[in-house]
């Protein structure tokens, strides 16, 4: 079977290449957080930084591990599922050749390990090269102007390897379920699904995951009233992080119920658009027939927009609440680093989500090329073929924005209740820049990731494009 695994690995690398960005960014987040944590504690032990001023280096990285792990687990699971779906024909041939389900699982897991290890090596190089400037970024206050002494970077190979191992574990955990699901499909059915987008059902694990998310959200809101009974100088800061956790858990809930939510949501809002042009109608129907592939493409974008809206609304809300409550300097010091505290807290998880969204769209580019070629064969004009991927990106972005806005509303509700309970005058603020960057910029990135990969295929004869995909 070693030769079979090696052959599968050689044949599958183009599919994994499309989603490898998410693996690299996830590894980079883990390794970077580990090195910052190691450097921070070394500086505290040496007496260069006071323990009370070390939160950005000793506490925030721990939060990064949690946030990045949650987002990374979800994004890697969807990315792995996209790759597995794209290779159902190859997996079916393995089954027809006599491979047992366990051997098919082993083949997919071998690919996952190879991709994760290679991504870890790339991430280690980037993390080592950027550690010093990142520590500098954390020590320089953006708004406050306060400068802390920068910890000396500590390049601990053992810590990096441990972070790699944790990240590889996250990747294997996220991909194992997808591998088992693919291995249990009969070979004939897998061959059929290789040419028809498979549907997606709510599995028992999804229902359990959704129920756990609801329990966690309820517990987070209940925690407000518990914390009000034991107030400290860090109470408001802790509530702020719990609000971010509520936003993130709600987004995970959306990912869990995606088979029930994303498709009907897209059909619902696109049906309300009064435009009835043929290009728009083709774009609408095209995303519907993709079934689960469409919902899996939407999930990382939901994470991206929700985290970006939360990141860009949290600071203005805190400062507006501070001003309304009569705190001239603000009741929260933001870990002495202004916007840097928010970026260091949510930035890694946001990067993973964005990488997952872009990677999934790149992975679908060959199928998109074939679809556009078929549209050309059936009479679509070159202009219509160029507009279709742009409309697809718009549908993806708007569909993802709706649950992302609900996640933002939940976070703001949490902040309002918690700040009011803490005796502050809660003022919620979502600046225009949050919408421009969170929705507008994300939409432009998705348009680029959807449209640009099609340009080369649009210059080729349509039968050649279709034949190329069929040959794979």
Tens-level pLDDT at each residue, the chain (472 residues):
666 667 666 767 777 777 788 889 888 888 988 998 898 888 888 877 777 767 677 777 888 888 888 888 888 878 877 777 776 666 666 766 677 777 777 888 888 888 888 989 999 999 999 988 888 877 765 444 555 678 888 898 999 999 888 888 877 876 777 677 766 666 555 545 544 445 567 788 889 999 999 999 999 999 888 877 776 656 667 788 889 889 999 999 999 998 889 888 998 899 888 887 888 888 888 777 766 778 888 999 999 999 999 988 988 888 888 888 776 544 444 444 345 556 666 778 888 888 888 888 887 777 788 778 888 888 888 888 888 889 989 999 999 999 999 999 999 999 999 888 878 888 898 999 889 999 999 999 999 988 888 888 787 777 777 666 655 5
Same domain, 330 and 398: yes
| Model pTM score | 0.82
What torsion, rounded to 10 degrees, do the Cα atoms 9, 14, 16, 18 define?
170
Report d(CA 452, CA 365) in Å as an integer: 9
Same domain, 182 and 251: no
Same domain, 167 and 224: no
| Domain span including residue 83 | 1-196
Q: What are phi and psi of 274, to 5 degrees?
A: -70, -15
Look up residue 296 and give its two tokens.
Answer: 């899996």
Q: How far is CA 226 from the centre of its chain?
A: 31
Same domain, 171 and 242: no
- The strand pairing partners of 147, in sequence order, are 140
Number of C-beta neighbours around residue 437 at 10 A: 16
The total number of structural domains that make up the chain: 2
Of the candidates 164, 180, 196, which is a domain's last residue?
196
Of the candidates 181, 196, 211, which is a domain's last residue?
196
Contact 127, 160 (CB under 8 A): yes
- Amino acid 144: pLDDT: 47
Report d(CA 41, CA 49) in Å as an integer: 9
Report d(CA 207, CA 415) in Å as an integer: 28
Same domain, 53 and 92: yes
Q: Is 315 helix (H, G, I), strand (E, B) or coil?
A: helix
Same domain, 18 and 54: yes
Helix (H) or strand (E) holding 413: helix 382-421
Mapping DSSP onto H, E and C, the string for 317-366 reads HHHHHHHHCCCCCCCCCHHHCCHHHHHHHHHHHHHHHHHHHHHHHHHCHH
Same domain, 122 and 224: no
- Amino acid 88: pLDDT: 67
Of the candidates 196, 218, 240, which is a domain's last residue?
196
């Amino acid at each position: 079977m070693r030769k079979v695994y090696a052959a599968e690995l050689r044949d599958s690398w183009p599919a994994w290449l499309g989603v490898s960005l998410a693996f690299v960014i996830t590894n980079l987040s883990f390794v970077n957080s580990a090195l910052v944590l190691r450097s921070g504690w070394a500086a505290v032990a040496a007496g260069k930084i006071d323990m009370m001023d070390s939160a950005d280096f000793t506490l925030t990285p721990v939060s990064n591990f949690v946030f990045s792990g949650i987002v990374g687990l979800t994004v890697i699971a969807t990315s792995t599922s996209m790759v597995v779906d794209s290779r159902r024909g190859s997996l079916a041939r393995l089954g027809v050749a006599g491979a047992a389900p366990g051997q098919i699982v082993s083949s997919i897991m071998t690919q996952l390990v190879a991709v994760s290890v290679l991504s870890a090596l790339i991430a280690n190089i980037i993390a080592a090269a950027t550690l010093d400037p990142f520590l500098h970024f954390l020590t320089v206050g953006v708004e406050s102007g306060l400068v802390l002494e920068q910890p000396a970077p500590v390049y601990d190979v053992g810590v990096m390897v441990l972070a790699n191992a944790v990240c590889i574990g996250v990747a294997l955990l996220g991909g194992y379920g997808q591998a088992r699901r693919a291995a249990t499909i009969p070979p004939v059915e897998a061959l059929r699904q290789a040419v028809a987008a498979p549907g997606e059902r709510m599995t028992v694990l999804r229902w359990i995951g959704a129920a756990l998310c609801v329990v966690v959200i309820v517990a987070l809101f209940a925690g407000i009233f518990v914390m009000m009974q034991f107030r400290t100088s860090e109470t408001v800061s802790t509530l702020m992080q719990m609000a971010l956790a509520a936003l993130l858990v709600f987004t995970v809930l959306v990912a869990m119920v995606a088979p029930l939510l994303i498709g009907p949501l897209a059909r619902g809002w696109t049906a309300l658009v009064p435009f009835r042009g043929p290009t728009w109608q083709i774009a609408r129907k095209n995303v519907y027939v993709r079934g689960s592939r469409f919902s899996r493409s939407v999930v990382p974008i939901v994470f991206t927009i929700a985290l970006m809206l939360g990141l860009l609304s949290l600071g203005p809300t805190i400062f507006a609440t501070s001003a309304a409550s009569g705190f001239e300097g603000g009741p929260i010091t933001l870990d002495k680093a202004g916007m840097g505290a928010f970026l260091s807290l949510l930035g890694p998880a946001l990067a993973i989500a964005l990488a997952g969204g872009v990677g999934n769209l790149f992975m679908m580019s060959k199928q998109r090329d074939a679809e556009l070629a078929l549209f050309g064969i059936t009479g679509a004009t070159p202009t219509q073929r160029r507009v279709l991927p742009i409309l697809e990106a718009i549908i993806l972005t708007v569909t993802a924005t709706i649950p992302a806005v609900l996640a933002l509303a939940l976070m703001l509700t949490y902040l309002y209740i918690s700040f009011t309970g803490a005796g502050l005058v809660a003022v919620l603020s979502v600046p225009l820049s949050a919408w421009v960057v969170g929705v507008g910029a994300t939409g432009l990135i998705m348009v680029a990731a959807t449209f640009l990969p099609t340009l080369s295929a649009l210059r080729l004869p349509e039968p050649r494009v279709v034949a190329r995909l069929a040959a794979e």
